[in-house]
Structure 1
Amino acid sequence: MKITKPLSACFVLTMLCSSAGCSYPSKDKNEDETSPAKVPLIRIVANSLGMNFPAGMDANHNPYLAYIEKNTGMEVNVTLPPLNGYDDKLNVIMTSGEPPDLLNTANPSWFINFVNQKALTPLNDYIDKYGANLKAKIPKEAWDNVTVNGQIYAIPSVNEVKGTEIIYARKDWLDKLGLQPPHSIEEFTAVMKAFAERDPDGNGIQDTYGLSILERLGRTSSFLGAFGAQMNAWYERDGKLVYSGILPEMKQALTYLHSLYEQNILDPEFPLNKIDILGDKIARGKIGLYSAAWSDTRTHIEQSRKNDPTAVWIPLDYPTGPDGKHGVYSTSIVRSYNVVPLKSQNAAAVVKFLDFIAGPAQNTLKLGFEKEVWTQVNGKLSIRLDEHIKQAYRGIYGALVDTIDRDLTRKRLDGLGEQFRLYENLQRIDNNLMQNRFNGPPTPAMGKHQVKLSKLQEETFTRIIAGMSPIEEFDAFVKNWKDAGGDEITGEVNEWWRQPGK
C-alpha cells in the first residue's frame, strides 16, 4: 500500500549559532611556541560543503591546508559552521566584537545586506596589487555581480557548470511496460502514471512513484521548463524584466504538478525530501524517473545499479510543453562570495590567499595531489577513486575561488569514469538552458526583502502542489509578493536593465 499524503508540510526553522559552531579554532599551542618567526595569520569562515575529514584530520590540520600555508607563508585558521542555518550563523559572527578576516557565503541576499550596512571592505586596490590570478581567471560578468557603485565588495567563486538538472529514467521499466522514451509533457505524464500504477519493479506491491522531487521544490526545473518558467529567474516581457515566480506560466506549472500529486504519481512525501532521502528512494528502486543532478550518475543512480543489476538508466529529452517550450534553469555565474569585514586589518593577506587558490593551487585543489590521487597516462587522467573520495575535503578550500577550465573539467570528469557520462550530461544541459536575463549584482531591495519573499514563495507553491491550498491562492501570492517588496525589487532590476553596456 502506498504511503498516505501528509496533511501538512514541515518547515524547519534554522537554529541560532552555537558557541562551538562560531568560535575560531587555533593551531596547536606548541606550533606557536616553536615557530622561528611570526607569520601572518588570517581567520576564515567557510562552507564545509558537507565534506568529512579522514581520521586524525580536521579543517585546520590536514595536508591541503598545510600545502596552502607553506606556499603562501601564512597561517590560516578555518571555521566551518554547521550547514543548518549557515547564513544565520554568519550573521552572528558578523555582529561579534571581532569578526574574522574572510567569510564565504553562497547567498546573494546576505552579501548585499551587508553591503547596504557598509560592513564590508572595498577590495579594488587590494585586487589590483595582489590579485593577478584573480583578475586573469575570473570573468567580467562575475566581477560585475560583486561590484556596487564601482566598489568590489567580494571576490567571487565562479560556477563551473551552467546548469545542473537533467532527466534520467529507468529504461528497464520502460521496456517491461512496453513504453517508449517520452518527449511531450503528455507522454511524460503517461509514463510516470504507468511507473506509479503498473508495478514496474514486479514485486506485486504498488509501492513505486512516477516522480519525486525535493523539499522547497528542488529538482522541478525540467518540468517547469515545459511551461516556460523557472524558479528565481527574470525574463523579458515587452521590453521589461519580470519575475518568473509571478508569471501565468508558473501558475500553469504548479497546476500540472498538483495534478500529478492528485493522481498519486508524485511522491507525497516531497515536502520532506532532503537530498539523502530522495537519493535513498532512487537507490532502493522506488522512483524510476526524476530530474537528476548531472553528477547523480556517479552517486544515486550508480547505487541503484549496484542494488539492482537489472536497472538501466538513460537520459531523456526535456519534456516539451503545450506551447512547444522546454528547458532547464541556468545557474548564476557566481557560486559564492568571499567578503572581508570592514573591521578586519588583513584584507591584503586575504586577497593574496585567494589569489594563490585561484592560481597555482587550482589544479591541486581540484584534482588532488599528483601520484596520490591521480596520474596522467597518454593524455588522460587516471584517478584513484578511493583516494579521490578520501581527499575530497580539499574542495572546501578550492571552492572558495573556483574558476572555469573546460579542458581540465572534461579530463577530470572522464577520469572519474566515462561510463558515468558526466561531461555528456553537462553538454546536454548546456544545450537546453533557459537564460536568466538578470545577471547584475543583488539589488539593495533584495537584501531587504529576498529572504521573506523566498519563504513566501516556497510555502505557497508547496501548499498548492500538495492540495493544501487551491490554485487560486497563486493570485493572492502574486499580490502579496509585489506588496512585500517584490515591486521594489522589480524597479531596481529594471533600473539595471536600462543601463547601457551591461
Structure 2
Amino acid sequence: MKGKNALYLAALGAALISVIICMELRADAPPSLSPPEEVNQADSNGKYLQPVTLRIGYYTTLESKWPEGSSDTFSDNRYTRRIENMLNIRFVHAFEYPSSDYTQKVNLLISSKNIPDFLLVTEAQFKRLAEAGMVEDMTELYEQHASPLLKNVIQGFGPRLMRRVTYNGRLLGIPSTIPAHDADGVVWIRQDWLRKIGMQLPEAITIADLERVAKAFIEDDPDGNGIHDTHGIQSTSSFLTGTIGFNTLDPYFGAFKAFPRIWIKSEDGNIVYGSITANTKQALGKLHDLYEAGLIDQDFGTVKPDQFAKDISIGKAGIGTGYTSAPMKLLAGSVKNNPAAEWDAHYIVAPDGKYYTRQPDPLGRIMVVKKGAKYPEAIVKAINVVADLDNNAPGVPHVYMDSPGTNWSVRPIQATFRKEQTVVNRFKRFKDAADGKLPREQLLEPDRKIFDDYLKGFGQLVASPQDWAYVLYQYHGGSAVLSSVNIPVYSEFYGMTSTMENQWENLLNLENESFVRIIVGDKPLDYFDTFVAEWREHGGDVITQEVEEAIAAIKRPAYVDKRSDE
C-alpha cells in the first residue's frame, strides 16, 4: 500500500506543478488585446487585405542560375511572386551578403544590436539573440498560424529539434530542417578508367580496394596518353567534416567505424567526442600509409576547398568523394570536357561489411523575428508556402521545374522545411519506377522527366551534363543510400554549449593541425595521444560534461503548448 500511495502522491504532485506552470505562463504572457481598426486584416486563406512588406536578411550565391531568357532576380522571382500572390506579402532585402560572408556579417549585426526584422541565424547566433532579449516570442504565433504540414515536418524530427529553438520554455524561432541521408558519403570512380586497367569493382568496396584503384590510376596510364600524369586520391584543406564534403577524406574514417566531428556513445555508455577515439587514431594511421605511398595528393592540405573538381574536370583524376548529389558539382565538368567519361558511385564498408554514414544536423538555420517587428506572424505564413513546396503538397505547382540549376537558395526564405525521410522516399520511388513496381504516372510531376532521362541512358545524356549529373545522383547515389548495409550514425548532440562558443574554434584548429601532421608524417601516429591530452586540457573535458548535461536536458518538455491547459 505504501508503494501505491507514494505513486499516487507523486502523480498528484506532478499534475499540480503542471497546472502552476501553465498559470504562471498565462500570467507572464502579454494581455490579449482586440486589434485596433487600423490593423491589417487577412481573409480566410490568410491573405492580407493590404500589402505587407517584410525586411529580411539575404545572402547571394554565384551558383544560382536563372532560366535562359529569364529576367528574374534575387528580389523578384517565381518564389517571391508566389508568396505575394497567395498572401500579399512582399520581401525587401535589408542586406545582401555573399554566402561565404553571411555568418560573419550577421555576427556583427547582432553585436551592434542592429538586426533586420526577419533573419535566418545559426544556433549559436540564436542563443545570443535569445539571451539579449532581441527576438519575438513565437510560441502562440506558431500555434495559431503554422500549417498542419509545417507542424508535421518539425514534429517529425522529435523533441530535440524544438528544444533547440526555445529559451526559458518559450519558442523564439522557427527551425528549418535537414532530412536524413542528405549527406551520405560516396566515392565516385571513373568506370572507363577501370576498364582500361582491367579492374572491376562491386558497389560496396573496402579500403584495400580503393588502395588498389588509386595505385593503378597513378601508375597504369588510365587516360592512355603515355604519360604518368594522373592522380589517385585527392582532397583539399577542408579534408574532414561532420558528414561529407567535396573531395574530403571523410568516407575513409567510416571504414574504421571512426566518427570524427560528432558526439557518440562509447562502449561503456559514456558520451565521447568521435575525433579522440582509438578508431579515429587507426584511420589516421591508414591515411598516413596511403599518403606515404603517394596515393593521396601530396598537396592536399594546401588545396583550396573551391578547387575540389579541378583535376577531375580536366581528366587527370578518376576518384572523387562527396554527397550523393556530388555529380552536379564534382563530375559534370568531366563529361562536359570528355563525353566518354563514365562515373559510378561506390561506398566504403568497414570490416563488418557495414556502410556507416554520419548523418547531418537535422537543424538548419533558424528564422527569428526582431522584437517589436510588425506582422511577426507573416513570416510563419510565408514558411507555410515554402513547406508546401518542399514537401510536394497536393495541388502545389513546382517552381522552376524547367530549370534544375535554379535551386531553393534563391527564395526569400533561404532554408528548407522537409520531412525527415524526404530524401530516402524519393530515392525509393525512383528505384521502384526503374524496377517496374511504380507506374511513371504515380511519380511526382517534376520527377517524371528525371525518370524519362534515366530511360534514355547516360550515353545520350552526356550532351546535357547537368541532366546527366542529376540522373547519376538520383539513381547511382540513391542506390548507396538505399543499400541494406547503410547504417546511419547520428550525433548524440548537435548544438553548442557555453564553453564551445568560446573554445570550439581553437579546438577545431588543434584537431585539423594535428591530423594533417600525422597524415603527412610530420608527427608519428602516437602524436595522436598528445593531441587528445591537449584537447581535453584546453576545454574538451569541460565541453564533454556540458554536452552530457545538454543531452539530459532534452528530456524536459520543449515548450509549453498553449492548448495543453484547455
SS of 1:290's partner is: strand
Aligned residue number for residue 362 of structure 2: 333
Asked whether the equivalents of residues 75 and 412 of structure 2 are also in contact (C-alpha less than 8 Å), the reply is no
Q: Which of residues 449, 452, 458 in structure 2 aligns to 1:415?
A: 449
| Distance in 2 between residues matched to 1:408 and 1:320, nearest whole Å | 27
RMSD: 3.2
Is 2:143 the counterpart of 1:124? no
Aligned residue number for residue 40 of structure 1: 52
Aligned residue number for residue 379 of structure 2: 350
Aligned residue number for residue 79 of structure 2: 64
| Distance in 2 between residues matched to 1:262 and 1:482, nearest whole Å | 29
Unmatched segments (≥5 aa) in structure 2: 1-48, 240-244, 430-443, 459-470, 557-566
Asked whether the equivalents of residues 127 and 134 of structure 1 are also in contact (C-alpha less than 8 Å), the reply is no
Is 2:497 the counterpart of 1:443? yes
| Distance in 2 between residues matched to 1:242 and 1:393, nearest whole Å | 36
- Residue deviations 1:383-428, cap 9 Å, x none? x4xx333x44665446424213466675445634435243342352
Q: Which of residues 43, 52, 60 in structure 1 aligns to 2:64?
A: 52
SS of 1:167's partner is: strand
| Distance in 2 between residues matched to 1:249 and 1:270, nearest whole Å | 22
SS of 1:316's partner is: strand
Asked whether the equivalents of residues 157 and 399 of structure 1 are also in contact (C-alpha less than 8 Å), the reply is no
How far apart are residue 245 of structure 1 and its match? 0.9
Asked whether the equivalents of residues 260 and 273 of structure 2 are also in contact (C-alpha less than 8 Å), the reply is no
Stretch of structure 1 that moved more, 401-410 or 248-257? 401-410
Asked whether the equivalents of residues 165 and 173 of structure 2 are also in contact (C-alpha less than 8 Å), the reply is yes
- Residue deviations 1:61-108, cap 9 Å, x none? 333212222322222112331123321111112233531122224x44
Asked whether the equivalents of residues 165 and 174 of structure 2 are also in contact (C-alpha less than 8 Å), the reply is yes
How far apart are residue 205 of structure 1 and its match? 1.9
Q: Which of residues 317, 330, 333 in structure 2 aligns to 1:300?
A: 330
| Distance in 2 between residues matched to 1:169 and 1:129, nearest whole Å | 51
How far apart are residue 169 of structure 1 and its match? 1.0
Is 2:289 the counterpart of 1:223? no
SS of 1:216's partner is: coil
Amino acid at match of 2:175: P
Asked whether the equivalents of residues 175 and 366 of structure 2 are also in contact (C-alpha less than 8 Å), the reply is yes
How far apart are residue 53 of structure 1 and its match? 5.7
Asked whether the equivalents of residues 116 and 444 of structure 1 are also in contact (C-alpha less than 8 Å), the reply is no
- Residue deviations 1:29-55, cap 9 Å, x none? xxxxxxxx9633221113435443647
Paired residues for 1:131-280 under 5 Å = 131-132=146-147, 133-138=149-154, 139-141=156-158, 142-162=161-181, 163-181=183-201, 183-217=205-239, 218=245, 219-237=248-266, 238-274=268-304, 276-280=306-310
How far apart are residue 346 of structure 1 and its match? 4.6
Change beyond 3 A, Cα 1:195–1:355: same
Asked whether the equivalents of residues 408 and 416 of structure 2 are also in contact (C-alpha less than 8 Å), the reply is no
Amino acid at match of 2:195: D
Change beyond 3 A, Cα 1:56–1:312: closer
How far apart are residue 490 of structure 1 and its match? 1.1
- Residue deviations 1:329-352, cap 9 Å, x none? 211212322223446455323223
- Name segments (4+ residues, structure 1) moved above 6 Å: none
Change beyond 3 A, Cα 1:38–1:45: same
Aligned residue number for residue 518 of structure 2: 464
SS of 1:103's partner is: strand
- Residue deviations 1:437-492, cap 9 Å, x none? 41464333333333332233233323332344443442232223223322222112
Change beyond 3 A, Cα 1:359–1:414: closer
How far apart are residue 301 of structure 1 and its match? 2.4
Change beyond 3 A, Cα 1:396–1:451: farther
SS of 1:402's partner is: coil
Asked whether the equivalents of residues 171 and 313 of structure 1 are also in contact (C-alpha less than 8 Å), the reply is yes
| Distance in 1 between residues matched to 2:511 and 2:292, nearest whole Å | 21
Asked whether the equivalents of residues 354 and 401 of structure 1 are also in contact (C-alpha less than 8 Å), the reply is no
- Residue deviations 1:7-48, cap 9 Å, x none? xxxxxxxxxxxxxxxxxxxxxxxxxxxxxx963322111343
SS of 1:227's partner is: coil
| Distance in 2 between residues matched to 1:144 and 1:208, nearest whole Å | 50
Asked whether the equivalents of residues 84 and 90 of structure 2 are also in contact (C-alpha less than 8 Å), the reply is yes
Asked whether the equivalents of residues 241 and 437 of structure 1 are also in contact (C-alpha less than 8 Å), the reply is no
| Distance in 1 between residues matched to 2:150 and 2:358, nearest whole Å | 27
Change beyond 3 A, Cα 1:285–1:354: same
Asked whether the equivalents of residues 214 and 295 of structure 2 are also in contact (C-alpha less than 8 Å), the reply is yes
Q: Which of residues 429, 454, 458 in structure 1 aligns to 2:481?
A: 429
How far apart are residue 254 of structure 1 and its match? 1.8
Aligned residue number for residue 548 of structure 2: 494
Paired residues for 1:59-138 under 5 Å = 59-78=74-93, 79-105=95-121, 107-132=122-147, 133-138=149-154
Stretch of structure 1 that moved more, 348-357 or 122-131? 348-357
SS of 1:84's partner is: helix
- Residue deviations 1:154-192, cap 9 Å, x none? 212111352332112112222222223273322221221
Change beyond 3 A, Cα 1:360–1:85: closer
| Distance in 2 between residues matched to 1:204 and 1:279, nearest whole Å | 23
How far apart are residue 500 of structure 1 and its match? 8.0
Asked whether the equivalents of residues 50 and 88 of structure 2 are also in contact (C-alpha less than 8 Å), the reply is no
| Distance in 2 between residues matched to 1:358 and 1:309, nearest whole Å | 38
| Distance in 2 between residues matched to 1:58 and 1:501, nearest whole Å | 45
Taking structure 2 as the reference length, the TM-score comes to: 0.71
| Distance in 2 between residues matched to 1:175 and 1:268, nearest whole Å | 26
